[in-house]
Amino acid sequence: MAEVTIGVVVFPGSNCDHDTEFAAASFPGVETRMLWHNEHDLQGSDMVVLPGGFSYGDYLRAGSIAKFSPIMREVIDFAAKGRPVLGICNGFQVLLECGLLEGALTRNRDKKFICRFMPVKVVNNRTLFTSLYQQDEVLNLPVAHGEGNYYAPPETLERLVADDQVVFRYCDEHGNVSDEANLNGSVDAIAGLSNKEKNVLGLMPHPERASDSLLGSDDGRRMFRSAIDYLSGI
Ligand SMILES: NC(=O)CC[C@H](N)C(=O)O
């Protein structure tokens, strides 16, 4: 019997759903469920992942139509119960659009799609998604986005920082945060953010694309492992 069931939501236009499922299912004791956006049933998921891609073609704004998908009502209720929800790239955009996370993702500073590995610093390792990382550890993770430029107004940002909700920042390979290292122009170099309760995490980098050293990095693997250990009670 599976110890942990991980549900991966599939929107029209998701393109990282199978990679995410593959990464999650590679852990012993994990079963996965693909959750079609038009359904209302989370199929017993212990954790829900909103994967990367271009839900509804990114029309209007990335994530702005996906938030109306029927499954999102269930995901919002699930998150309100303190259950884990992870949004990767387009999933992060959906989490912001539906209000599970605060702020917005806008076009990259240079208005260009960025597709490359980037150093990313773990700013808070005291979440269920990051417990197996060292505080301030520098990860090598791929990004692939056109709308990754995070923004929150100064008073919101101050509160997010004070409440330890900033979980990842873009940095250089030595862990230094600078304008040059912050390629998409995100305010405060934010690459990943949680809600106040820390059970909802959204990030632009793709941990599922860095889950095997054959892919150039397995630094994303511990994000899944941290959550799976938490759900298995380890
Ligand atoms: N890989 C992704 O999820 C990124 C696509 C995203 N919709 C964008 O901003 O371009």
Q: What is the value of ipTM here, to two decimals?
A: 0.93
* Residue whose CB lies within 8 A of the most ligand 1 atoms, among 16, 58, 89, for a mutation test: 89
- N-terminal to C-terminal alpha carbon distance within the chain: 17
Single-letter amino acid, residue 146: G
User: DSSP H helical segments within 138-220, as ranges?
Assistant: 154-162
pTM: 0.96
190 Cβ closer than 6 Å to some ligand 1 atom? no
Rg (CA), the chain: 16
Half-sphere exposure of 43 (CA within 13 A, CB side): 16
pLDDT tens profile 135-184: 999 999 999 999 999 999 999 999 999 999 999 999 999 999 999 999 99
pLDDT at position 217 is: 97
170/183 Cα distance (integer angstroms): 8
- Domains detected in the chain: 4-232 (3.40.50.880)
